[in-house]
Amino acid sequence: MCRPTSNVDIALESLPDDAHRALGQAMLRPHLLLEIFDILIPKHPASLVQPDTICKFIVASQETLKCVYHLLRYRFNRIYHQGCRPDKTLLLSNKANISILFTEELHVKSLLNFSGKVIQEIMNSVTRSAWLSPFFDGLRSNTSLTALNTCAGYGVFYVYADSHETFPPVYTNAFHLAHIETYRRLNHYDITQIDQPEKLEELVILGDARSTMHLVPVLEIKLSHLKKLTLNAKLRYYGAIRVLRNLDSIPNIIMNDVIFPKPRALINLNRTLEITRFNFDTMWKAIQRHPGFITVVSVQEGSKRGRNENAHNLIISYFSDLIVERSITSKSCCFKGLLKRSSGKKSLTLQLVIHWCY
């Protein structure tokens, strides 16, 4: 573990020259300390601030230590990346994808504890190793956590559930896994290992939702206590309707990437518009039947063979009551439109793109 030393000159001897000059000024003007640290931070994404750099910086004075606390609270408050040995390293990242590295051999217990208290997003694994105990102790009193991925690991869920009434929104990439219906795997961690799963109120699903038919019964049985379900995964049209039908116990469902069926290229434009309108109305009926707050954002793109001189007016006639935005390009024979219907706590949006000649 890194320990402060009384010999500041030795501790700072390997800092860059510009950091030394800035440090002399910052002792009189503490607000410049953040500028010193900016000198030490690499400027390109995926860079690492090495643990020895942090240790040398914090032993300079009480003010430099406060500066690092400030950085952990307001900048390096996300765990997005996993080190080569998750049981030996901890990476605290900022929005620019630059990370502060702590290791089992070189870390500061007080900083780990403070980081656990103020961490805002844990989207990768944190192993419950002995040297990370201060981090988990801090996590018990955390009031800032806004996002938690299932791959964070059992230790994170256990400690957080033991000291909090509910989990923050929980994210997972496991929507498409083949064994999701048995809950055997959820992004390499068993969902059944989440301590007190009834505290999970909001689930956000990422990735590719290819096995919707397998997923829905599991959600209905296992996640009926959810208050909000957000699907950012690509979801097929009929899968989305199935979700709405089977998950009527969830009061708030958001589907952000529903793919409407693409009409066959050989059918004419008129028939394509009929099918699209029918699918839109069918989805809207499914939304209306659900008792909760429903938001569906969808897309459909298709191409038609042959020319149609009346295509502009024909498209508008089918969707005149739905069009919010539109763009028709005569040269490319392309219609781009945003169709929307909403009522109270329900809404359906379709981004429609149709090419009708070559």
Residue 342 lies in a domain: no
Q: Report the CATH number at residue 100.
A: 3.80.10
Helix (H/G/I), strand (E/B), else coil: 176: coil
* Residue in the block written with tokens 């109120």: 201
Residue 22 lies in a domain: no
**The amino acid at 221:** I
CA distance 213 to 176: 10
Give, for all 358 residues of the chain, the pLDDT tens digit: 554 433 333 334 444 554 445 444 444 454 555 565 666 666 666 677 888 878 777 776 777 787 888 888 888 899 987 666 667 889 899 887 888 889 998 888 999 999 999 999 999 889 889 999 999 999 999 999 999 988 788 889 889 999 999 999 988 765 543 333 333 333 333 444 566 777 888 988 886 545 443 444 444 445 667 899 898 888 889 888 888 887 888 899 999 999 998 877 667 788 888 999 999 999 999 999 999 999 999 988 876 655 666 777 888 888 888 888 777 665 557 788 899 999 999 999 999 888 765 4
Residue 348 lies in a domain: no
Q: How many Cβ atoms are within 10 Å of 198's Cβ, its own excluded?
A: 10
The number of distinct structural domains making up the chain is 1
Residue 3 lies in a domain: no
Residue 285 lies in a domain: yes
Residue 336 lies in a domain: no
Question: Which residue range is the domain that position 296 belongs to?
Answer: 76-321
Count Cβ neighbours within 10 Å for each residue of 210-239 and write b for 16 or more, e otherwise: bbbebbbeebbeebeebebbbbbbbbbbeb
Residue 351 lies in a domain: no
Residue 124 lies in a domain: yes
Identify which of 353, 271, 355 has the alpha carbon closest to the alpha carbon of residue 318.
271
Query: Helix 17-26 and helix 33-40: axis angle, to 10°?
Result: 170
CA distance 267 to 312: 18
